[in-house]
């Protein structure tokens, strides 16, 4: 064990409106297990919609029940996924982002209330974005990282971290050397590996790192071989429009998440728990915000909570025991 002792990381994937699932999972953990999620974790990492959850917890903005009822309600998400004028007029024929992002930024501004990233001093925060012009991952960290020097507003960070290509326009930073950023899911949809790297850079040993990683679902394997062959055959002739229509962005997100989850499991072993599961393909759309869909997300969140709650208790007991052991040797 290092001089720093154990560190408990919460990592939350991207997934648009499916972010309602990890938000509800955390709310069930907090309510059913009678714990404070913010107090138990030392480090919050998020990408895309997961960045909103991580930032909310890191700055102690309120209860998870408030986050679920407010930010991840059908009413709130429908406002965030507001259709642009071009989308309303031209539908799929448009050559503009699907949503203008104005209401998304308004929601984020209201939630973060002018907080700067370095105003957060009692918890670690990691949010990922992607500089598509320079083609590099951007890591926003309180008091560390690319942008700690100019101490950016948390609203700017979250706005950039959720600017999914084709869905929302890129976001310009206010740094002296302006950059144009998009959703960090373009680089990786699961920030867990980046969070482990950051913990190591802060001086923690690998054996000190404990992690709960929350996914936003993967499509159920419910297609017959005939259906798979039909789609596979048609895909040989797909161009960019066809790939976009058939969920190119979501394919990229799912692929990076599966790689990250595999690597984290290999690195951390039983100090790592990934809560994720299959969803019907009808629920995989990242901008479906109807009341029916939001209730579906909540139902699946409870199923996943019940499926993994015993493993979560073991993980929590393990990190608590490690903290006690560290305190005894100080």
- Which tens digit of pLDDT belongs to each residue from 300-314? 999 999 999 999 999
Percent over 90 (pLDDT), the chain: 66
Query: d(Cα 27, Cα 309) in Å, to the nearest integer?
Result: 13
User: Using CA atoms in the order 37, 42, 46, 52, what is the torsion angle rounded to 10 degrees?
Assistant: 50
Residue, of 205 and 259, whose pLDDT is higher: 205
Residue, of 151 and 176, whose pLDDT is higher: 151
Residues 180-190: what's their mean pLDDT?
92
Residue 233: is its pLDDT beyond 60? yes
Query: d(Cα 73, Cα 22) in Å, to the nearest integer?
Result: 13
Q: What is the pLDDT of residue 22?
A: 98
Reported as a single tens digit per residue, the pLDDT across 143-172 is 766 566 678 999 999 999 999 988 899 999
Residues 211-238: what's their mean pLDDT?
80
Residue 239: is its pLDDT beyond 80? no
Residue 240: is its pLDDT beyond 90? no
Residue 326: is its pLDDT beyond 80? yes
C-beta separation of 218 from 274 below 8 A: no
Residue 289: is its pLDDT beyond 90? yes
Residue 138: is its pLDDT beyond 60? yes
Burial of 270 (0-12, 13-18, 19+ CB in 10 A): exposed
Q: What is the pLDDT of residue 154?
A: 95
Q: Considering the entire predicted model, what is its pTM? A: 0.90
Two tokens at 103? 């209401």
Q: What is the pLDDT of residue 82?
A: 81
In what helix (H) or strand (E) does residue 141 lie, and over which residues does it extend? strand 136-141
Residue, of 221 and 297, whose pLDDT is higher: 297
Q: What is the pLDDT of residue 291?
A: 95
Average pLDDT, the chain: 88
| Alpha carbon 57 to chain centroid, angstroms | 12
Sign of CA dihedral 193, 199, 200, 206: negative
Res. 251 pLDDT band, cuts 50 70 90? low
Residue 226: is its pLDDT beyond 90? no
Residue 90: is its pLDDT beyond 60? no
Two tokens at 265? 């499991």
Residue, of 102 and 330, whose pLDDT is higher: 102
C-beta separation of 71 from 23 below 8 A: yes
In what helix (H) or strand (E) does residue 128 lie, and over which residues does it extend? strand 124-131
Residues 41-56: what's their mean pLDDT?
97
Reported as a single tens digit per residue, the pLDDT across 255-278 is 666 788 889 999 999 999 999 999
Q: What is the pLDDT of residue 113?
A: 87
């Amino acid at each position: 064990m290092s001089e720093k002792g154990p560190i408990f990381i919460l990592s939350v994937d991207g997934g648009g409106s499916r972010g309602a699932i990890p938000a509800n999972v955390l709310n069930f953990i907090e309510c059913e297990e009678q714990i404070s999620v913010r107090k138990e974790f030392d480090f919050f990492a998020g990408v895309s919609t997961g960045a909103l959850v991580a930032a909310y917890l890191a700055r102690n903005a309120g209860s998870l029940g408030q986050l679920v009822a407010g930010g991840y309600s059908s009413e709130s998400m429908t406002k965030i996924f507001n259709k642009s004028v071009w989308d309303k007029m031209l539908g799929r024929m448009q050559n503009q982002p699907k949503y203008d992002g104005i209401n998304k930024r308004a929601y984020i501004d209201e939630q973060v209330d002018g907080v700067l990233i370095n105003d957060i001093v009692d918890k670690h925060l990691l949010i990922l974005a992607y500089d598509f012009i320079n083609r590099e991952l951007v890591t926003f960290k309180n008091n560390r990282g690319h942008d700690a020097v100019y101490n950016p507003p948390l609203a700017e960070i979250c706005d950039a971290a959720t600017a999914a290509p084709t869905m929302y326009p890129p976001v310009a930073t206010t740094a002296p050397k302006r950059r144009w950023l998009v959703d960090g899911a373009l680089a990786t949809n699961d920030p867990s590996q980046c969070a482990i790297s950051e913990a190591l850079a802060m001086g923690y040993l690998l054996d000190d790192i404990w992690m709960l990683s929350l996914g936003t679902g993967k499509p159920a394997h419910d297609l017959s071989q005939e259906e798979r062959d039909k789609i596979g055959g048609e895909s040989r002739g797909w161009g960019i429009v066809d790939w976009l229509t058939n969920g190119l962005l979501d394919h990229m997100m799912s692929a990076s998440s599966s790689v990250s989850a595999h690597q984290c499991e290999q690195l951390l072993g039983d100090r790592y728990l990934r809560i994720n599961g299959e969803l019907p393909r009808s629920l995989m759309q990242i901008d479906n915000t109807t009341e029916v869909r939001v209730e579906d997300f909540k139902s699946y969140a409870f199923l996943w909570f019940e499926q993994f709650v015993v493993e979560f208790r073991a993980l929590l007991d393990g990190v608590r025991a490690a903290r006690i052991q560290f305190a005894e040797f100080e």
